[in-house]
Amino acid sequence: MKINIQKNIKISNPETRDFLADAYYPEVSGKLPLIIFAHGYKGYKDWGAWDLMAEQFAQAGFFFVKFNFSHNGTTLERPNEFGDLEAFGNNNFSREMSDYDAVLNVFTENPHTDRNRIAFMGHSRGGGISLIKAFEDDRVKALVTLAGVSNFSYRFPSGERLKKWKDSGVMYSENGRTKQQMPHFYQFYEDFKENEKRFSVQYCAQHLDKPFLIIQGTEDDAVKDKEAFLLKEWAKDSELFIMEGANHTFGAKEPWVDQNLPPDLQTATEKIIHFLGKKL
């Protein structure tokens, strides 16, 4: 089956700024179910093995979209490098929600997609954002999270560290791979506090009335498996798939030079394809 790949499609969002998306879909007649994938913290659409994963979804008959959040630190010219740390520092959950909406608006109008069969899929922090957007948007019919977070609030500092952040206006987090000191401006916390109810992953999970697949590895250092069990407990129409020995990225890393998916990500991809094949 011939797969069409469109890389670096420019998405305009007047509420944030222009950003890029990729589309992978089989060359077939008829409309295809649409999957939109959101990367996680310090991630981007071209990271690791996401391209190979996208191709597998296309081979399975889906129209698969992955995108860079507008303020994830990449640029239109360099979509797979953190070349704009000022933008990274100015990111917040409201901007990510707005970007998600912009992507959805563009691809529901695509002639190849079926607007009645739409699923969201997110990794790590992108899993939390995907859950909130799936809860808010009636167009979304199913949800998948890969190592998805269950809570945003306790990822912020507290006490003296929070006060120091407020006083200085900026807090830094080192990127373990690039060694860049990546800034978070205090507006990130202010935006969260102003919209704390909206950004409650727990509330959205408890009120989500859509099929939801939760995939989690037991050797995840960034998101513990207890978060997956909480999501399962909260969401009434959910299915939990625990992967023994899988890490936070399901065996992928950046760069990924192999021509095949890592075994854990392959297993996860097959599970998602089966799940969405039934639910969409």
Please report the pLDDT score of residue 10 as a whole number.
Answer: 98
Please report the pLDDT score of residue 13 as a whole number.
Answer: 98
Please report the pLDDT score of residue 191 as a whole number.
Answer: 98
pLDDT single digits (tens) 174-190: 999 999 999 999 999 99
pLDDT category at 38 given cuts 50, 70, 90 is very high
CATH number, domain of 82, equals 3.40.50.1820
> Which whole number is the average pLDDT over 212-217?
99
Residue 103: name the closest of 181, 149, 177, 37 by CA. 37
pLDDT category at 21 given cuts 50, 70, 90 is very high
Tell me the percentage of the chain whose pLDDT exceeds 90: 100
Rounded CA Rg of the chain = 18
Residue 152: name the closest of 189, 185, 200, 107 by CA. 200
Residue 90 near residue 52, CB atoms below 8 Å: no
pLDDT single digits (tens) 243-254: 999 999 999 999
Please report the pLDDT score of residue 71 as a whole number.
Answer: 98
Backbone angles phi, psi at 72, to 5 degrees: -85, 0
DSSP label of 185: E
Please report the pLDDT score of residue 200 as a whole number.
Answer: 98
Residue 220 near residue 246, CB atoms below 8 Å: yes
Pairing of strands 212-217, 142-146: parallel
> Which whole number is the average pLDDT over 202-225?
98
Please report the pLDDT score of residue 206 as a whole number.
Answer: 98
Residue 93 near residue 191, CB atoms below 8 Å: yes
pLDDT single digits (tens) 50-75: 999 999 999 999 999 999 999 999 99
Please report the pLDDT score of residue 107 as a whole number.
Answer: 98
Residue 64 near residue 149, CB atoms below 8 Å: no
Helix, coil or strand: residue 69: coil
> Which whole number is the average pLDDT over 72-95?
98
Q: Per the structure, how many domains does the chain have?
A: 1
pLDDT single digits (tens) 129-182: 999 999 999 999 999 999 999 999 999 999 999 999 999 999 999 999 999 999
Q: Token pair 């698969």 is at which residue?
A: 64
Q: Which domain holds residue 142?
A: 3-279
Residue 106 near residue 24, CB atoms below 8 Å: no
pLDDT category at 204 given cuts 50, 70, 90 is very high
